Amino acid sequence: MNMLTILIPVALGLGALGLGAFLWSLSSGQYEDLDGAANRILLDDSPKDNK
Amino acid sequence: MSCCAGPIVADVSKTQALDARQITLIEDLRSNARTLPDGKVNYLLSTPAIHCGNCIATIERKLSPLPGVESVRANLSLKRVSLTLEDSAASPADAVERLIALGYEPQSISAEESGRMDPELKQLLQALAVSGFAAANVMLLSISVWNGAEGATKELFHFVSALIAIPSVAFGGLPFFRSAIGALRRRRVNMDVPISLGVTLATAMSMYESFIGGGHAYFDAAVSLLFFLLIGRTLDHMMRAKARAAAESLLRMAAKGGFVVQPDGDTLYLPLASLEPGMRIRVAAGERFPVDGTVIEGASDIDRSIVTGESAPVHLGMSDSVEAGTLNLTGPVDMLATRRAEQSFIAEVTSMMAAAENGRSTYVRIADRLARVYAPFVHIAAATTFLGWLLWTHGDVHQALTVAVAVLIITCPCALGLAVPVAQVISAGRLFQAGILMKDGSALERLATITDVAFDKTGTLTSGTPAISITTINDPVEQGIAKTLAQRSIHPASRALATYLSAVTALPVTDLHEVPGHGVEAIYKGKSVRLGRHDWVAEIANSDASHLESGPSFAIAGKPLRSMSLKETLREGAESTVATLNRRGIRTRLLSGDAPEPVRAIAEKLGIAAYFSQLKPGEKLESLRADAAAGHRTLMVGDGLNDAPALAAAHVSMAPSSAADVGRTAADMVFTRDSLQSIVFAHDVALATERVVRQNFALAIVYNIFAVPLAITGQLNPLIAAIAMSTSSIIVVANSLRLYRLKPKEKAARATVPVKTTALRASPAT
């Protein structure tokens, strides 16, 4: 029984952490250009450096 | 790598056309720009040409060094460029020009779609994430309870479940609660009413049970129900958003303004709303006329197909009147505006369309029809159970209430809520693969019930571009010259000739130029050569013995005149489509604005039973209205502006992607493939979808037949509820997935079947 008082909050906390991460990534626009992100890794520099 | 390089336009008339577009585009961009908190201004441009990683790099590198540009970010998925400028004084004109030069012609995005991400989808995804989290955790706790957790442990688990479930039901249930309240306000019942009621009551009762420390808690049922339903709703939303976006990206730019000739001879670009009657407006070749008016200078051929549906261009000279939206083909023309934009021909058709849409017989979706029967049944069953238990237990309110809520939970239409959206989402995905974009799920339901099909002719049954059927240009030298001349013009007949002569080597000529309203002229080995209107070409020919009527003529000075005749080419699959529809017992009909003779020829060739020619847009609309009044459910297939009111009024409508903007907007479905077989396939999918939806309903009802008696007799426990709900949902989804394997029936197999078409019944040409 004592274990439960530790384990349940830990389990819920980890789940909530995942949920929070998803909601954050959603609101910070990480799902807006899925194809572009895959291509960007192949490009040499960021355009800023060429300026 | 030059995969993205586009041609740079150098032609004078086209440059002018481009300028007009740029000016309107920049105006649009400015009106939709967002000012950021730090004073920078953000513009969103749609650039359909972006298609590879290299495009992103090119755009970002070439645009970011421009003066005033703070940052550029290209989005490959949405095919958009987000451009941030340092302050409101900086103009996006340079960037737009650079984009066009790079071959990515930008288009503006209307204010409502310029948001970063569809807010509704974002909310659904958030709700989905929250309810998914809740469903998983509550289910874990519930499993321990079912496994025999007792006493304090059980209470603790119920308490923790409540803590998770209450906020997530409140948040995740919002889309359903809103829709249910909306329906109740309009004094209707939809599926969301029993869903909302079931979820809310299940949560409330479980809370009560947990706090008094006994009985069953249905938190897991409530949250997993929400989770399943949100999956269906999110899929549905994503599918429709995708189809809508694809349909919108097809929209071509219509005239949004015109070049007004000032008294001093300069031209000034004014937006559509500022064009007044009496203004002198210059329209370059390749542009659309912005308003109605009369020609006061110049001559040209114009494409009036959006008005009449007729593909042959009309010659236009002094004091002829032109309608807004028609396309100027061959030469620049000055016109005197006679009406304001909002009174123009296009505006008239648009208002006719709005009226037609309002008058459309109000179609009730199959799920809502079912909800009207189902919801009262559920509520009456729960109320009867409550009263029955109250009498049986001699006034034990708590016991009676518990059982009544259990009935509500078990009948809460989880499978029913999924039955329609899942089937339609899968069908829409299947149609999308086949190049058919559906704007609305109910279009499939309506398509499944059709009794009549009305076709437009030009651009729908025929491809809209003419082809050469026969020509007297036989000499290889003449063919070579004719090809060179034909390639110069955008006149449909010239294009047809160029296509016809595609195997011939073009011969070089000098002094090649287009004579507006007449044709194309050039010098070949010191001799004048002409391709164009018959009387103009005949001036230089020495004879015109073998003159064929419908096409342009061609001659080398001093040589005999050559001519050709044009025919309309049938769209691919037109014959088999009409034959299939006839065999299915669907009445076919041809509604055309064209002359009686070509209409009759096409109708006879395809085996269409009834045809009407020379119809005006209003008359097509009347024909569709008469159908609705007679109880016929008609599918309208059309493409032109003149079809738009009829498309809006029809029971269900389809348009090819080559259709006029208004036509595509008015239609329920847009097909992007050339073949008309898309209509047959869409009908197949619609019928299959309806069948699957009915099967799904049947499955859901069977499940209720078993589960409801358990609930009414008080035998239900949370474990049974959870198993029953998930199983029925999974079965419904699995059954719907079968739709994805639907294949278009083989064309070849169809063609070999001898088809006896119905006898022709010529209707009076009105």
CB atoms within 10 A of CB B440: 17
The pTM of the full predicted model, rounded to 2 decimals, is 0.69
Please compute the mean of the pLDDT values over residues B702-726 and round it to a whole number.
81
**Model pLDDT, residue B304:** 75
Query: Which residue has tokens 């070409």?
Result: B537
**Model pLDDT, residue B195:** 82
With beta carbons under 8 A apart, name residues in chain A contacting B151: none
CA nearest A17 in B: which residue?
Answer: B133
Question: Is pLDDT at B358 greater than 50 in this prediction?
Answer: yes
Nearest to A22 among B53, B117, B129 (CB): B129
The model's confidence at residue B214, banded by pLDDT at 50, 70 and 90, is low
In sequence order, what E strands does B571-675 have?
587-591, 610-612, 634-637, 652-656, 669-671
Alpha carbon of B383: minimum distance to chain A alpha carbons (Å): 38
Residue B573, by phi and psi: left (phi above 0), alpha (psi -120 to 50) or beta? left
Question: Taking all residues of chain B, what is their mean pLDDT, rounded to a whole number?
Answer: 78
Nearest to A19 among B116, B133, B160 (CB): B133
Question: Is pLDDT at B550 greater than 80 in this prediction?
Answer: no
CA distance A24 to B87: 29
The model's confidence at residue B308, banded by pLDDT at 50, 70 and 90, is low
Residue B611, CA distances (Å) to B8, B36, B127, B294 in order: 46, 58, 53, 34
Using DSSP's 3-state secondary structure scheme, residue B652 falls into: strand
Using DSSP's 3-state secondary structure scheme, residue B282 falls into: strand
**Model pLDDT, residue B756:** 38
Question: Is pLDDT at B720 greater than 50 in this prediction?
Answer: yes
List, for residues B76-128, the tens digit of each pLDDT value.
777 778 888 887 777 778 888 888 888 887 776 654 444 445 677 888 889 99
List, for residues B49-69, the tens digit of each pLDDT value.
777 778 888 888 888 888 888
Per-residue tokens: B85: 């400028």
More confident residue, B267 or B1: B267
Could you say which residues from 319 to 378 on chain B have a Cβ atom under 8 Å away from some Cβ of chain A? none
Class of residue B491 by CB neighbours under 10 A (exposed 0-12, middle 13-18, buried 19+)? buried
CA nearest A27 in B: which residue?
Answer: B122
**Model pLDDT, residue B558:** 82
- Confirm if B748 and B601 have CB atoms less than 8 A apart: no
Report the share of chain B in percent with pLDDT over 70.
83
Report the share of chain B in percent with pLDDT over 90.
7
**Model pLDDT, residue A13:** 92
With beta carbons under 8 A apart, name residues in chain B contacting A4: 153, 156
Q: Which residues contact B570 (CB under 8 A, 6 or more apart)?
A: B461, B462, B463, B602, B605, B606
**Model pLDDT, residue B683:** 92
Active-site residue, from B301, B456, B627, B684: B456
Could you say which residues from 15 to 44 on chain A have a Cβ atom under 8 Å away from some Cβ of chain B? 15-16, 18-19, 22-23, 26-27, 29, 31-36, 38-40, 42-44
**Model pLDDT, residue B748:** 38
Query: Which residue has tokens 């159970």?
Result: B385
DSSP labels for B694-742? Answer: HHHHHHHHHHHHHHHHHHHTT---HHHHHHHHHHHHHHHHHHHHGGGG-
The model's confidence at residue B196, banded by pLDDT at 50, 70 and 90, is confident
**Model pLDDT, residue B244:** 60
Q: Where are the alpha helices (DSSP H) in B147-173?
A: 151-172
Q: Is B456 among the residues known to form the active site? A: yes
Q: State the pairing for strand pair B452-455/B634-637.
A: parallel
CA nearest A35 in B: which residue?
Answer: B77
The model's confidence at residue B457, banded by pLDDT at 50, 70 and 90, is confident
CA nearest A43 in B: which residue?
Answer: B57
Are residues B116 and A35, on separate chains, in Cβ contact within 8 Å?
A: no
